[in-house]
């Protein structure tokens, strides 16, 4: 168990994030929406800026020095993702726009090749829309069936029920590592064991996990792992799919274009090797440089310590909101991380969000792109406060003060 951050470290970290140093509606910004997207440290902003100011050219093709520098800066993002996930080989890391694109790639490339009529894709009831809709599209196209493993009243996956739903027709189990709406951490290794025993592949949505939990794809044993740069303090528009080399090599290309080919004639084309086979077109070059800087920043603090800091903050916040009359937590699974979701009797989350905003407190109010989760808990929406490496107990105190104001107004 790592030690949480000291006050001195935390103050230094906060100073790394220029966006935190501002007022909104005349109040100091309290940013509690890192589950939607994280703020960016100076090193990331500088890396993106430096790429454009000093090292910009197209990648993977120029013979001149500038192009080599740009390629090196971009490819550093790939290598950083490999380290972050402890992948065996950087060729297994496909750089894409983000988690959503990564999941769509697997659905459209691997899915079309391996899923047929009557086959099943198994997901969980806590998935983000981006890990539901790509499979619905695939199932509709292939005549396959989407099967859902339930969650319990705390928002934890019911593993026995998942196991019951895995059968000979199950081609893939797609599950989130950490729920964005509930904070639940799924038992990925058990899911992988169950799926692999039935011959199914496993895709893990790591968008909410990678900035707070150490991830080792070799130890987890999954087949695909998807992540987004913007949720780990990096730029938006860059993310990655990790896939086992032998799977990626066997998969057909997804999008055609430059970069992904080996040779092109009007009769036929041949494909580049992985990962470039899946990287048609000029990529988000500065995004790759920013992603490398963001992962370097996480490593410099230590992901275990960031996780420990957020756990301590979540425990403090969970206790502190108990003073708010009529507040009910949504998502109480043991070991949950990063987010505090709740509803308040007689107050719609949107109204709470507006009132908190005027107090400088930025939270998410809505369905968090997880409408089935809201339906499961019988609420139209929740308020979600979510934490990042830069949040403090004072941020939580401001949230709780704001919530008392909300309740007072509506009483």
Catalytic residues: 369
Q: Residue 176 pairs with which residues in a beta bridge?
A: 205
Residues 343-382 that bind other proteins (CB under 8 A): 346-351, 354-355, 358, 365-367, 371, 374, 380-381
Nearest CA to 303 out of 83, 61, 63 is that of 83
What 3-state class would DSSP assign to 373? Answer: helix
Taking CB under 8 A as the rule, does residue 140 contact other proteins?
A: no
Residues 67-96 that bind other proteins (CB under 8 A): none
CA angle 214, 219, 225 (to 5 degrees): 70
Taking CB under 8 A as the rule, does residue 23 contact other proteins?
A: no
CA angle 250, 254, 256 (to 5 degrees): 115
Pairing type for strands 327-329 and 23-24 reads unpaired
Q: How far is the CB of 188 from other proteins (least distance, A)?
A: 29
Taking CB under 8 A as the rule, does residue 282 contact other proteins?
A: no
Dist CA 135 CA 151 (whole Å): 19
Q: How far is the CB of 345 from other proteins (least distance, A)?
A: 12
- What is the chain's alpha carbon radius of gyration, rounded to the nearest angstrom? 22
Residue nearer to other proteins on the CB measure, 316 or 410? 410
Considering CB under 8 A, how many residues would be counted as binding other proteins?
20
CA count, 13 A, side-chain hemisphere, 212: 33
Strands (DSSP E) found in 245-322: 261-264, 269-271
Residues listed for the chain: 411
Q: How far is the CB of 382 from other proteins (least distance, A)?
A: 10
Tokens in use for 203?
């895709």
Pairing type for strands 327-329 and 261-264 reads unpaired
Taking CB under 8 A as the rule, does residue 405 contact other proteins?
A: yes
Site string (310-349) toward other proteins, x via CB under 8 A: ------------------------------------xxxx
Q: How far is the CB of 380 from other proteins (least distance, A)?
A: 5
Taking CB under 8 A as the rule, does residue 409 contact other proteins?
A: yes
Nearest CA to 331 out of 367, 377, 366 is that of 377
Q: How far is the CB of 182 from other proteins (least distance, A)?
A: 17
Residue nearer to other proteins on the CB measure, 84 or 362? 362
Residue nearer to other proteins on the CB measure, 25 or 268? 25
Residue ranges in contact with other proteins by CB under 8 A? 25, 346-351, 354-355, 358, 365-367, 371, 374, 380-381, 405, 409-410
């Amino acid at each position: 168990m790592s030690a949480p951050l000291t006050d001195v470290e935390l103050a230094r970290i906060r100073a790394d994030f220029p966006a935190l140093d501002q007022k909104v509606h005349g109040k100091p910004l309290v940013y509690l929406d890192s589950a939607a997207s994280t703020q960016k440290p100076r090193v990331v902003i500088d890396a993106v800026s430096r790429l454009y100011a000093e090292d910009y050219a197209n990648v993977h093709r120029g013979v001149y020095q500038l192009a080599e520098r740009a390629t090196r800066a971009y490819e550093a993002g790939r290598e950083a993702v490999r380290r972050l996930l402890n992948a065996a080989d950087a060729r297994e890391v496909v750089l894409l726009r983000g988690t959503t694109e990564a999941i769509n790639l697997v659905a459209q490339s691997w899915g079309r090749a391996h899923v047929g009529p009557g086959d099943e894709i198994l997901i969980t009831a806590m998935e983000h829309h981006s890990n539901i809709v790509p499979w619905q599209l695939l199932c509709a196209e292939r005549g396959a069936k989407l099967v859902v493993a339930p969650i319990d009243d705390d928002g934890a996956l019911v593993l026995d029920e998942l196991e019951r739903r895995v059968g000979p027709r199950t081609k893939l189990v797609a599950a989130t590592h950490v729920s964005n709406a509930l904070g639940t951490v799924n038992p990925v290794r058990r899911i992988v064991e169950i799926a692999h025993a039935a011959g199914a592949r496993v895709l893990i949505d790591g968008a909410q996990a990678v900035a707070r939990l150490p991830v080792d794809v070799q130890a987890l044993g999954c087949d695909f792992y998807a992540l987004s740069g913007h949720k780990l303090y990096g730029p938006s528009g860059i993310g990655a799919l990790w896939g086992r080399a032998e799977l990626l090599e066997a998969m057909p290309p997804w999008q055609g274009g430059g970069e992904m080919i080996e040779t092109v004639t009007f009769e036929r084309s041949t494909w580049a090797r992985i990962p470039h086979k899946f990287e048609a077109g000029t990529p988000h070059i500065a995004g790759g440089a920013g992603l490398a800087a963001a992962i370097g920043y996480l490593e410099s603090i230590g992901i275990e310590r960031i996780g420990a800091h957020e756990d301590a903050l979540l425990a403090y916040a969970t206790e502190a909101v108990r003073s708010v009359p009529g507040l009910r937590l949504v998502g109480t699974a043991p070991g949950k991380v990063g987010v505090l979701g709740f509803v308040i009797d007689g107050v719609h989350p949107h109204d709470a969000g507006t009132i908190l905003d005027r107090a400088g407190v930025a939270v998410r109010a809505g369905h968090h792109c997880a409408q089935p989760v809201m339906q499961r808990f019988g609420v139209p929406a929740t308020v979600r406060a979510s934490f990042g490496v830069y949040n403090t107990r004072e941020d939580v105190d401001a949230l709780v003060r704001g919530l008392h104001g909300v309740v007072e107004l509506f009483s």
